[in-house]
Amino acid sequence: MLRTALTATLMAAAAWSQTGDVKLAEQAYKNIVELKGVPAEQVLPAMQFMATSLGVDCNFCHVQGKMDADDKATKKTAREMMHMQAEINKTNFRGQKQVTCYSCHRGAARPVAVPPVLDSDAAPRPAAPMAAPPAQGQQVTADQILEKYVTALGGADAIRKINSRVQTGKITAMGSDSPIEVFTKAPNKRVSISNGSSYTAFDGTAGWMGNTGRPVREMSPAESMASAVDAEFALALRIKELYPQLRRGRPEELAGATCEVLNASGPGRVPLRLYFDSKSGLLVRLVRYADTPLGRIPTQVDYADYREQDGVKTPFRWTLSRTNGRFTIQISDLKNNVPIDDAKFAKPTGDVK
């Protein structure tokens, strides 16, 4: 049932796999019923989607150490729910994942069927901000939004004159700060090193992670695809090539500022939603979506503190938020066009040095 909707995911996974054959869920795991036919690497993202939609941990449905066992009633219910979700979407929404666990559960194990009464004198607020309708006679196109962005950054010529960048600053997560260095090189290589020992990298083709003295871990195809977005050195100039489908969405308010919105998708790419400040033209938010067999998991990056150096503006602060956590990076020093050896981005063999 989930199979048709997943063809695109399967193809994307196959494109990444060097040998071209994709291991299926039922080949990699012991007790798969609903996720049959899904690539094995999509099983854990599907689990994350269920856990985050219900606001629970893995052990809500599983006994630790025996994930294949069906000894919890909640796991059996979850399987029925997966089946129900697929049926609802097949019957009503042409197989599109319009209704998901989150639609009903909204972060709780037990959905609420009855609307609440007012608990204060304040008017009830809709869960999501209302989109402002586009102003009459001011219809801008996706191309115009991108042109304004490129101009706001300093223009295409200035952007092309910079080919590498070294940034240092601090990363703040869960209230504590650590030093961070970020090395980037055109067109799409990136490595960030926090505390001098914790690496997250994209070598231009695939991503890897690791800590000094421990074995390196390759990113899954889905993680790699997400990491590839962050690694784009000049997304402003490459976006049309990478994302042939660029559609303008309805403008939205972000922290009091009106933003133009672009939805981007393309073969083998994670779908993106981009928010540009209508006044400055700068990119203020990027949301990328990891497709799972059950629904999409968002990662949001908010950009701020744009400063100009060598004729080009870059954000000196960004906050990355996921369903289960967030961190902020504040850059204090930036150097452009510093030579960086490609070896800096390459996945080490064995332990991370």
Name the residues that contact ligand HEC, by CB under 6 A.
29-35, 43-44, 47-48, 50-51, 54, 56, 58, 60-62, 67-68, 74-75, 77-79, 81-82, 85, 99, 101, 103-105, 109-111, 294
Residue 273's closest CA among 281, 283, 284, 261?
A: 261
Report residue 318 CA to chain centroid gap.
Answer: 14
Length in residues, the chain: 353
**Six-digit token string for 207:** 């991503």
Nearer to ligand HEC, 67 or 304 (CB): 67
Question: What's the min distance (Å) between Cβ of 23 and ligand HEC?
Answer: 13
Nearer to ligand HEC, 152 or 294 (CB): 294
Residue 243's closest CA among 298, 289, 207?
A: 289
Question: What's the min distance (Å) between Cβ of 97 and ligand HEC?
Answer: 10
Nearer to ligand HEC, 26 or 147 (CB): 26
Nearer to ligand HEC, 79 or 238 (CB): 79
Nearer to ligand HEC, 25 or 182 (CB): 25
Tokens 């390459």, residue located: 346
The contacts of residue 94 (CB under 8 Å, 6+ apart) are: none
Question: What's the min distance (Å) between Cβ of 289 and ligand HEC?
Answer: 17
Question: How far is it, in rounded angstroms, from Cα 295 to Cα 77?
Answer: 18
Tokens 């602060």, residue located: 317
Nearer to ligand HEC, 85 or 220 (CB): 85
Contact 2, 13 (CB under 8 A): no
Contact 20, 14 (CB under 8 A): yes
Nearer to ligand HEC, 74 or 265 (CB): 74
Question: What's the min distance (Å) between Cβ of 166 and ligand HEC?
Answer: 36
Nearer to ligand HEC, 74 or 211 (CB): 74
The contacts of residue 272 (CB under 8 Å, 6+ apart) are: 229, 243, 262, 263, 264, 265, 286, 287, 288, 289
Tokens 């994930």, residue located: 67
Question: What's the min distance (Å) between Cβ of 343 and ligand HEC?
Answer: 35
Question: What's the min distance (Å) between Cβ of 71 and ligand HEC?
Answer: 12
Question: What's the min distance (Å) between Cβ of 305 and ligand HEC?
Answer: 34
Nearer to ligand HEC, 24 or 235 (CB): 24
Question: What's the min distance (Å) between Cβ of 41 and ligand HEC?
Answer: 12
Contact 53, 100 (CB under 8 A): yes
Question: How far is it, in rounded angstroms, from Cα 6 to Cα 271?
Answer: 15
Question: How far is it, in rounded angstroms, from Cα 128 to Cα 120?
Answer: 19
Question: What's the min distance (Å) between Cβ of 28 and ligand HEC?
Answer: 8
Question: How far is it, in rounded angstroms, from Cα 133 to Cα 256?
Answer: 15
**Six-digit token string for 42:** 């999509």
Residue 221's closest CA among 159, 276, 268?
A: 268
